[in-house]
């Protein structure tokens, strides 16, 4: 069985403050270690559950966080930036299942730890075909395009509740309980890693009961930016529509094309200089 693992940072065990999530800040080395240890628990659980090939994709910030020298040697690691499928780069029909480790709740829907959707400052919210979504749903839809079910997820309690609306069968490992965006009650690493490993193995043993999240095309993404500066620039993207002063939409024939449009809109929008009046 071939297993794909995407790993983000905000939802990693023990991580709570912004300094632990952002490269080059004090606390970042702790954050990346936490990501690495969570991944190792997921890889171990994957092999326990029947995987014989595991590919991990570093999905946080510059996507070079996981510590290669500490990673379980049975797993390959995709690292680095500029990947067209970003958090799910490298996924294809050849995989049997996916885990999302260290994810976080979508922007502004709750007090979830590190809640944000792709761009923490510039984006208020993203809708997919009219429904508010987070990174989990967007990436699950890309995995679903290739027929790959997301069978297990780890993060805080709010993420794990939120994701059930879209993936009701997903196994969840709650590694911390959110107090607000940058504080949490964290369970011990020993318990958290045990839980990730256990849920990972269980999800693969029962992989046949999981369905992939397939979103029928055409697919529309609508971005509500923090300000009109981002929306104005983002609407330079050919094919995009400026729905309202802060809102830009892009529709693709399927989720892959729509996601490419979404990221182009986001990258162009986020390039706006917005320091004073954001």
Size of the site for Zn ion (CB under 5 A): 2
Q: How many Cβ atoms are within 10 Å of 205's Cβ, its own excluded?
A: 12
Exactly one of 8, 38, 137, 171 binds Zn ion (CB under 5 A); which one?
A: 8
The yes or no reply on residue 135 touching Zn ion (CB under 5 A) is yes
The yes or no reply on residue 162 touching Zn ion (CB under 5 A) is no
Mention every residue, 6+ apart, whose C-beta is less than 8 A from residue 161. Answer: none
Q: Which stretch binds Zn ion (CB under 5 A): 16-24, 44-52, 88-96, 130-138?
A: 130-138
Q: How far is the CB of 117 from Zn ion (least distance, A)?
A: 8
Mention every residue, 6+ apart, whose C-beta is less than 8 A from residue 101. Answer: 5, 6, 7, 8, 11, 12, 35, 38, 39, 42, 153, 154, 196
| Nearer to Zn ion among residue 53 and residue 111 (C-beta) | 111
| Nearer to Zn ion among residue 96 and residue 135 (C-beta) | 135
Q: Which stretch binds Zn ion (CB under 5 A): 7-15, 191-199, 227-235, 267-275?
A: 7-15
What is the per-residue binding string for Zn ion in 89-128, x denoting contact by CB under 5 A? ----------------------------------------
| Nearer to Zn ion among residue 8 and residue 171 (C-beta) | 8
271, 219, 267, 266: which is closest to 247 by C-alpha?
A: 266
Helix (H, G, I), strand (E, B) or coil at 179: strand
Only one residue has tokens 């095309």, namely 217
| Nearer to Zn ion among residue 118 and residue 258 (C-beta) | 118
- Please say whether the beta carbons of 104 and 111 come within 8 A: no
Q: Which stretch binds Zn ion (CB under 5 A): 15-23, 132-140, 225-233, 239-247?
A: 132-140
Q: How far is the CB of 8 from Zn ion (least distance, A)?
A: 4
| Nearer to Zn ion among residue 65 and residue 274 (C-beta) | 65
Whether the CA torsion 84, 85, 89, 90 is positive or negative: it is: negative
Mention every residue, 6+ apart, whose C-beta is less than 8 A from residue 238. Answer: none
| Nearer to Zn ion among residue 81 and residue 236 (C-beta) | 81
DSSP code, position 165: T
Q: How far is the CB of 54 from Zn ion (least distance, A)?
A: 21
Q: How far is the CB of 219 from Zn ion (least distance, A)?
A: 20
Measured CA to CA, the distance from residue 70 to residue 166 in angstroms comes to 33
Q: Would you tell me which residues interact with Zn ion (CB under 5 A)? A: 8, 135
């Amino acid at each position: 069985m071939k297993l794909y693992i995407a790993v983000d940072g905000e939802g990693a065990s023990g991580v709570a403050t912004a300094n632990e999530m952002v490269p080059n800040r004090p606390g970042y080395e702790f954050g990346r270690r936490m990501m690495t240890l969570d991944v190792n628990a997921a890889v171990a659980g994957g092999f326990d559950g029947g995987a014989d090939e595991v590919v991990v994709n570093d999905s946080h910030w510059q996507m070079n966080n996981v510590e290669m020298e500490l990673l379980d040697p049975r797993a390959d690691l995709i690292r680095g930036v500029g990947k067209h499928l970003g958090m799910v780069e490298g996924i294809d029909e050849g995989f049997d299942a996916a885990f999302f480790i260290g994810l976080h709740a979508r922007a502004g829907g709750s007090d979830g730890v590190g809640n944000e959707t792709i761009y923490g400052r510039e984006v208020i919210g993203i809708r997919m075909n009219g429904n508010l979504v987070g990174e989990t749903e967007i990436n699950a839809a890309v995995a679903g395009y290739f027929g790959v079910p997301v069978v297990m997820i780890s993060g805080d309690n709010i993420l794990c509740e939120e994701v059930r609306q879209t993936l009701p069968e997903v196994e969840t490992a709650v590694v911390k309980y959110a107090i607000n965006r940058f504080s949490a009650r964290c369970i011990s690493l020993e318990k958290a890693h045990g839980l990730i490993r256990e849920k990972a193995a269980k999800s693969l043993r029962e992989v046949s009961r999981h369905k992939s999240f397939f979103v029928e095309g055409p697919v529309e993404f609508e971005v509500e930016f923090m300000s009109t500066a981002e929306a104005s620039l983002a609407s330079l993207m050919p094919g995009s529509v400026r729905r309202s002063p802060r809102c830009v939409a892009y529709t693709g024939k399927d989720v892959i094309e729509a996601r490419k449009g979404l990221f182009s809109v986001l990258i162009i929008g986020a390039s706006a200089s917005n320091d004073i009046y954001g």
